Amino acid sequence: MTHDGATTYPTATAIAEAVAGGTLSASAVLDAHLARTAASEGTIHAFNHTDDDAARQRANEIDARVSAGEDVGPLAGVPIVIKDNICTKGVPTTCSSRMLDGWIPPYDATVVRKLAAAGAVTVGKANMDEFAMGSSTENSAFGPTLNPRDTTRVPGGSSGGSAASVAAGFAPVALGSDTGGSIRQPAAFCGLVGVKPTYGLVSRLGLIAFGSSLDQIGPLTHTVADAALVLDVISGHDSGDSTSLPTPAPRVSAHLDDGVAGLRVGLVRELMGDGIAPEVLASVNQAAEALVAAGAIVEEVSLPTIDYSLSAYYIIAPAEASSNLSRYDGVRYGLRVDAPTTGEMMERTRTQGFGDEVKRRIMLGTYALSAGYYDAFYGTAQRVRAVIRGDFDAVYNNVDVLLTPTTPTTAFKLAEKVSDPMAMYMNDICTIASNLVGQPSMSVPFGLDSDGLPIGVQLMAPTLGETTMFAAAAVLEAAQPLGSQLGSPRTLVANEGGL
């Protein structure tokens, strides 16, 4: 099934302006999005949990505050979806795993608190690859999510439910997490904007850890402006997160119209060759031409060690996962499968609680950290990581941003790669490096392939270079070929009936 590409959805920016201005109620906005969810969620399966009554209560509260003349915040009445590895007080947070099935956190993640303070209305928790380990959202213990562009195909992963919920019009905004491309890859597959911020720019407090030195929370939206709006809300220092940057967060929304005149853009040679589909390469080259037409200077650059990023990542990330997931022992929280001894209880709990991909990565990581192998594997991978970071720093002495494909191909068929872990891992070849170096990157829709599937191009920038990256993204968005997105976002007309 292919979704009707003529469908249009209002942007988060337009909704917030209309609700705050009193020309549209948060309740009417919510009802329109809930109606779309009711019509299509049975097919798409974007959600693990929804609570329409709680969302309606929240929308009514927003309307009452607007009527009282209060400033309810920059996301007034905007429906938003939260990935199911981000803690929500009193609402199940499962990481799409049997290990945490039914677990209810006693607190909200910092990003959830910030969204609520900005006036957003949470409508559900999104399906995902279990513990964020996957590139297709087929590893969920609760079943796969389908791509609204073509329901025979995956939406990407691990934030596939978040991406699908926005692409299908269930909400204009979703939060995902990105450890090696888990926001940007599904954004590319679903025709959305997806942002991985600078490491430490957005608090990880309340994000259930996969790879602690790699994970970042970021937005998935229809437009660059909406992504900027959400990033401005959720970024900033958090004393509860020891990895949170103490420096002031850049306000990206204020720089969307900066343009790219004189901007130096590097086209990464190593990500423009073998393994990248010809139609994807054509879109990246077309994006480069659009930047040149807007005044940028585009040149080919080399990042020779980027070829090692996949290997380094698949040692570092499983090693950190092995450490982080050791807490699921059947004692403190989550699933417990009783047995005669403590050791047997832990073994049975983990055997039944974790899926195959999670077990695979735990075993890889445990081996890499084991006595006698630590330096040969984990230590070497960290040294390679430092060399890759040095290459990026050297390139940024000569260019301001980098341009690459987001993914090697467009969305692939369901079950096409599930039995071949290496083929699945190769989907991350373009995205992993920016997680290893902790620098910002984002995917912007730019064109369609011959099957009508969206193609994403990736922009990367140096640490805290979000303002420049978003300015370039805004130029690409304005120049993108028609039909690149699932339904063209539109400006909301006050009091219109067709939300």
Q: Is the separation of the CB atoms in 334 and 99 below 8 Å?
A: yes
Phi–psi pair at 394, nearest 5 degrees: -65, -40
182 is catalytic: yes
Q: Residue 427: helix, strand or coil by DSSP?
A: helix
253 is catalytic: no
Annotated active-site residue in 162, 165, 182, 235: 182
What are the structure tokens assigned to 440, written together?
């910002």
Annotated active-site residue in 158, 162, 283, 309: 158
Q: Please, which residues bridge with residue 445 across strands? A: 456
> What is the C-alpha to C-alpha distance for residues 380 and 407, in angstroms, rounded to an integer?
27
> What is the C-alpha to C-alpha distance for residues 160 and 190, in angstroms, rounded to an integer?
9
What are the structure tokens assigned to 24, written together?
């549209």
Alpha helices in 22-169 (DSSP H): 26-44, 52-67, 110-117, 160-167
Q: Please, which residues bridge with residue 218 across strands? A: 176
Report which residue type is found at 12: A
> What is the C-alpha to C-alpha distance for residues 484 and 473, in angstroms, rounded to an integer?
14
Cis peptide before 165 (omega within 30 of 0): no
Report which residue type is found at 199: Y
Report which residue type is found at 225: A
83 is catalytic: yes
Q: Residue 49: helix, strand or coil by DSSP?
A: strand
What would the DSSP string read from start to end of 236-283? S--TT-TTS--SPPP-GGGGTT---TT-EEEEEGGGSSTTS-HHHHHH
Residue pointed to by tokens 């909301």:
492
Annotated active-site residue in 27, 40, 83, 203: 83
Alpha helices in 110-217 (DSSP H): 110-117, 160-167, 184-190
Q: Residue 180: helix, strand or coil by DSSP?
A: coil
Report which residue type is found at 295: G
Length of the chain equals 499
Active-site residue list: 83, 158, 182
